[in-house]
Amino acid sequence: MKYEAVIGLEIHAELKTASKMFCSCPNGFGLEKEPNINICPVCTGQPGTLPVANIEAIKKVIKTALALNCRINDFSKFDRKNYFYPDLPKGYQISQYDKPLSEHGYLEVGDSKVRITRIHLEEDTGKLIHPAGADYSLLDLNRAGVPLMELVTEPDIRSGGEAKKFCQELQLIFRYLGVSDADMEKGQMRCEVNISIRQKGAEKFGTKVEIKNLNSFKVVEKSIDYEIKRQTEALEKGEKIIQETRGWDDAKALTFSQRIKEEAHDYRYFPEPDLPPLNGLLKWAEEIKKELPELPAQRRARFGKEYGLPEADVEALICDPELSEYFEEVSSELNEWAKTAEPKIDVKKSVKLAVNYLTTEIPRIAGLSQNENYNLREKITPENFAEFIKTIAQNVVSSSGAQTVLAEMFKTGADPSHIIKEKDLAQVSNEEELAEKINQVLEENASAVEQYKKGKQNSLMFLVGKVMAATKGKANPQVVTEMLKNRFK
Ligand SMILES: [Zn+2]
């Protein structure tokens, strides 16, 4: 309790653009089937080639910056960051140094407000591959020159949980803006942590440790919490914290020293002479601002109010921008329908039913058919999905029948009434139709009837089961139960 952690993050996100940052090679999002297919003389650093800046990438960074309450710099420029590494063919990276596109923003997550130091634009590097046992390494330049957005925060974070929430909200914002898919496992979003410990209330920071190569939100949280514990224990024992870079070992659930930091690197930054500086960005930003969509925080608040859903449901919907839009279309169909539906239906209940099917049943069915990367809209139209909810609300199908219908809709895209007819899944609620089967079951199970009359409640369930079996599962169990109870009165 004596200490507190001081944590800052550095986040890289690959931008979703058609082409790379400084050439016209396709931006393949890391999905290339072969190495070195999306390359050209520019992104492989051949002598005599010249870069041309991708205006869409610049726009996407400004869009992100506006969404994160940043100040846009009217004047910005690119700089060369010089260092040698085999995955960097030019011997320098085009980045931004003292005039980034934007600075001084913030993001509120729950009760905490994390200030954003800057967001700038640079190019990604290639990738080195080290085949097991080989005495050589391979170089893939598909990623070289992919537009990369770098976001740096102030050291405003105090725990692993807070850092995780911040990263998750950031990912969501990137997705809502359509600037990046930001999938951490695919390396589209990468996170580095700076962490130090100090006595509570102290102004001076402790010695800073960097944690690198964190490839999931969970690992961000776990590695930070581990470091807090490790550094606190070291301080308690009177040991000194060493300034170093550490990695995360997931199997052992601990951080380990990768290298001790020598002097800070001198990258000999200087303005990129092959690219003109960027002027008049503020005016452009005014235009871009008009294109900003509803952001996750706004949608979260609106969904809570408009649909009266519990927090967990709201979160399950808004964590996927596509899904939340889909849900809104379904919900508006249900609302329209409820105005005239006969028999009357509880629209709030139907909407809640839609949420349950969307957030639990659909992912389950997708998992069963090993089709996890599906586009729901392409599988089932919102109109058909609303239709499906109506059939349940009006007891046209039972809940088990509904599962069959939904799985079939997911597979074929057919509309629910068609499937119900085709597969003969309509639930029988008509008392006249059920009466005959009930008579038959009562005759065949006289002893169960006797036992029920003697007070054995289980016998009623047994008889309902018999009627269900006799109707091949098509009887409406609620109606059957009511009919049986009436008979015994
Ligand atoms: Zn290229």
Please name the helix (run of DSSP H) or strand (run of DSSP E) that holds residue 83, with its range, or none: none
> Minimal CA–CA distance to 437: which of 471, 460, 403, 485?
471
How confident is the model over 126-182, as pLDDT tens digits? Answer: 999 999 999 999 999 999 999 999 999 999 999 999 999 999 999 999 999 999 999
Of 118-122, 170-174, 274-278, 421-425, minimum mean pLDDT range: 421-425
Residues 6 or more apart whose CB falls under 8 angstroms from that of 430 comprise none
Top mean-pLDDT range of 161-170, 212-221, 390-399: 161-170
Of 107-121, 156-170, 456-470, minimum mean pLDDT range: 456-470
Question: Distance, CA 189 to ligand 1 centroid (Å)?
Answer: 21
Q: How far is the C-alpha of 386 from the C-alpha of 333, rounded, in Å? A: 6
Cα-based distances in Å from 279 to 78, 81, 94, 101: 12, 21, 18, 10
Q: How far is the C-alpha of 115 from the C-alpha of 107, rounded, in Å? A: 6
**Within a 10 A sphere around the Cβ of 378, how many other Cβ atoms?**
8
Question: Distance, CA 61 to ligand 1 centroid (Å)?
Answer: 21
Question: Distance, CA 73 to ligand 1 centroid (Å)?
Answer: 28
Question: So what's the pLDDT on residue 86?
Answer: 92
Of 246-250, 284-288, 451-455, minimum mean pLDDT range: 451-455
Question: Distance, CA 42 to ligand 1 centroid (Å)?
Answer: 5
Exposure on the CB side of residue 186, measured as CA atoms within 13 A: 13
Question: Distance, CA 231 to ligand 1 centroid (Å)?
Answer: 44
Q: How far is the C-alpha of 57 from the C-alpha of 60, rounded, in Å? A: 5
Question: Distance, CA 128 to ligand 1 centroid (Å)?
Answer: 18
Which contacts (CB < 8 Å, 24+ apart) does range 30-33 have? 30/142, 30/143, 30/186, 30/187, 30/188, 32/142
Q: Is the pLDDT of residue 372 over 80?
A: no
Question: Average pLDDT, whole number, for the chain?
Answer: 90
User: What is the percent of the chain where pLDDT is above 70?
Assistant: 99
Q: Is the pLDDT of residue 430 over 90?
A: no
Of 43-47, 99-103, 215-219, 446-450, minimum mean pLDDT range: 446-450
Question: Distance, CA 123 to ligand 1 centroid (Å)?
Answer: 11
358: left (phi over 0), alpha (psi -120 to 50) or beta: alpha
Q: How far is the C-alpha of 153 from the C-alpha of 12, rounded, in Å? A: 12
Question: Distance, CA 143 to ligand 1 centroid (Å)?
Answer: 10
Tell me the backbone φ, ψ of residue 453, rounded to 5 degrees. -65, -30
Count of residues in the chain: 489
Q: How far is the C-alpha of 11 from the C-alpha of 15, rounded, in Å? A: 12
Question: So what's the pLDDT on residue 270?
Answer: 95
Question: So what's the pLDDT on residue 261?
Answer: 66
Question: Distance, CA 37 to ligand 1 centroid (Å)?
Answer: 10
Q: Hey, what are 410's tokens?
A: 């997911």
Q: Hey, what are 412's tokens?
A: 């074929």
**Within a 10 A sphere around the Cβ of 255, how many other Cβ atoms?**
23
What average pLDDT does this structure show over 405-422? 86
> Minimal CA–CA distance to 269: which of 49, 437, 78?
78
Q: How far is the C-alpha of 361 from the C-alpha of 357, rounded, in Å? A: 5
Q: How far is the C-alpha of 55 from the C-alpha of 37, rounded, in Å? A: 23
User: What is the percent of the chain where pLDDT is above 90?
Assistant: 55
Ranges of each domain in the chain: 3-289, 296-422, 431-488
Distance, C-alpha 297 to centroid of its chain: 14
Q: Quick one: pLDDT band at residue 1, thresholds 50, 70, 90? A: low
What average pLDDT does this structure show over 456-477? 84
Question: Distance, CA 279 to ligand 1 centroid (Å)?
Answer: 25
DSSP bridge partners of 153: 116
| Calculated CA dihedral for residues 366, 371, 375, 379, nearest 10 degrees | -70
pTM metric for this prediction: 0.85
Question: Distance, CA 19 to ligand 1 centroid (Å)?
Answer: 8
> Minimal CA–CA distance to 101: which of 125, 68, 140?
68
Q: Is the pLDDT of residue 238 over 90?
A: no
Q: How far is the C-alpha of 15 from the C-alpha of 21, rounded, in Å? A: 9
Task: Name the residues around ion ligand 1, CB cutoff 5 A.
Answer: 23, 25, 40, 42-43
Q: Quick one: pLDDT band at residue 475, thresholds 50, 70, 90? A: confident
Question: Distance, CA 27 to ligand 1 centroid (Å)?
Answer: 9
Q: How far is the C-alpha of 159 from the C-alpha of 379, rounded, in Å? A: 41
454: left (phi over 0), alpha (psi -120 to 50) or beta: alpha
What average pLDDT does this structure show over 228-238? 90
Question: Distance, CA 33 to ligand 1 centroid (Å)?
Answer: 17
Question: So what's the pLDDT on residue 425?
Answer: 78
319: left (phi over 0), alpha (psi -120 to 50) or beta: alpha
Question: So what's the pLDDT on residue 264?
Answer: 62
Question: Distance, CA 476 to ligand 1 centroid (Å)?
Answer: 64
Residues 6 or more apart whose CB falls under 8 angstroms from that of 343 comprise 394
Question: So what's the pLDDT on residue 483?
Answer: 87
Give the amino acid at 116: I
What average pLDDT does this structure show over 4-24? 96
Cβ–Cβ < 8 Å for 327, 299: no
Question: Distance, CA 77 to ligand 1 centroid (Å)?
Answer: 21
What average pLDDT does this structure show over 332-351? 84
**DSSP count for the chain of H helices, then E strands:** 17, 14
For 237-320, where are the alpha helices, taking DSSP H only?
Answer: 281-289, 296-307, 311-318
CATH code for the structural domain at 431-488: 1.10.10.410
Question: Distance, CA 135 to ligand 1 centroid (Å)?
Answer: 29
